[in-house]
Amino acid sequence: MNNLVAIGAGGALGAVCRYGLARWVQQLAGLAFPAGTLTVNALGSFVMGFATVWMLERSTLGPDARLFLLTGVLGAFTTFSAFSVETLSLVEARLTGQAVLYVAGSVILCLVMAWLGMMLGRQV
């Protein structure tokens, strides 16, 4: 299977799953707090952690299947899962300083960029 087709098919599935689960949880919670997004990010991080280890260390699934699930489905379901696994990989490699920099940089930079995008969006 073509890599882009695997990623695209998985991405479509992941995006639909994200929308459905986040909406369902948010309706159940009935709060202003983004419980749906938090649930998706937490579940996606768990599944990404499990699937990464299982696929790379225990499975005989080929690269297309890994691209479909990890990059496609889970990548579209939540990019927070990739952030979580990448951070833990740095910690496991004993690159704690880089892990802290990655976490702090990601949170601060992304919040600043979102704010700048919102400010720009209000100007045009």
pLDDT of residue 104: 94
Q: Is the dihedral of CA 113, 114, 115, 117 positive or negative?
A: positive
Residue 52 has pLDDT above 80, yes or no: yes
Whose structure tokens read 């499990």? Answer: 50
Q: What is the pLDDT of residues 53-109, one digit of tens each?
A: 888 888 888 889 999 999 999 999 988 888 898 999 999 999 999 999 999 999 999
Domain boundaries, the chain: 3-93, 96-124
Backbone φ, ψ for residue 114 (5° rounding): -65, -40
pLDDT of residue 100: 95
> pLDDT class for 1, splitting at 50, 70, 90?
low
pLDDT of residue 110: 85
Q: What is the pLDDT of residues 9-25, one digit of tens each?
A: 999 999 999 999 999 99
pLDDT of residue 80: 86
The full DSSP string for 42-65 is: HHHHHHHHHHHHIIIII----HHH
Joined together, the tokens standing for residue 12 give: 């479509």
Which ranges of 1-124 would DSSP assign to H, the alpha helix?
A: 3-29, 35-53, 63-66, 75-77, 80-92, 96-123
